[in-house]
Amino acid sequence: GAVVSQHPSRVICKSGTSVKIECRSLDFQATTMFWYRQFPKQSLMLMATSNEGSKATYEQGVEKDKFLINHASLTLSTLTVTSAHPEDSSFYICSARVGGTDTQYFGPGTRLTVL
Amino acid sequence: GQQVMQIPQYQHVQEGEDFTTYCNSSTTLSNIQWYKQRPGGHPVFLIQLVKSGEVKKQKRLTFQFGEAKKNSSLHITATQTTDVGTYFCADPTDDKIIFGKGTRLHILP
């Protein structure tokens, strides 16, 4: 149980385009989902916390207009990187928290490359 | 702000040797979690420690939570090639998880 999927697993796009990444909890309902970014050989940096039916809470330094998060249902959250630039190239990972616990289950990640 | 410091950043060991990574916090932690991330993969939850002085074992992995709940360690006995990856400690709060920088483990054959 507690499986989280992410789609796509890998995406290459041109500079200036927008990219949408989906995060789904497959066998449980996730009231809270988290979006992280990880640069090579670095730790996971929390970008935002996404609560179902409400606006996402962004960490300091993360542009909310550039990284649009929508948590439309208890099993789906999306991250849209708008007007992507090469410096946005990174590994984006989502996680979902099982209600009432501290445990987060991570998706397999999406590797974004902006040319 | 909240942060957990983790050392060492990198560790190279011969296969069969032991390995330890340490995590320290400037504040008292409620709980501490440990994750493993294989190269190219995503973090996988290993364990959560809750009690002061707690020690838990998972096969060759031993997790320890300090008496003051400000530090923790992960010790691997007789490392194997499958242990390669980055080990993160993390501070789970009510609303988010703060990750340490991780310790990258390389196994030399």
**Average pLDDT in chain B:** 93
Q: Compute the nearest-CA separation of A16 from chain B (Å).
A: 26
A58 touching B (Cβ < 8 Å): no
Element (H, E) at A106: strand A104-106
SS (HEC) of A10-32:
EEEECCCCCEEEEEEECCCCCCE
Closest CA to A43 of B75, B63, B23: B23
What would the pLDDT profile of A32-60 be if each residue is shown by its tens digit? 899 999 998 888 999 999 888 888 999 99
A13 touching B (Cβ < 8 Å): no
DSSP string, B63-99: EEE-TTSSEEEEEESS--GGG-EEEEEEEE-SS-EEE
Cβ contacts below 8 Å, chain A against chain B, sum to 44
Of B41, B48, B100, the CB nearest to A43: B100
A104 touching B (Cβ < 8 Å): yes
Provide the pLDDT confidence category of residue B96 given band limits of 50, 70 and 90. Answer: confident
User: In which residue are the tokens 């300091």 written?
Assistant: A60
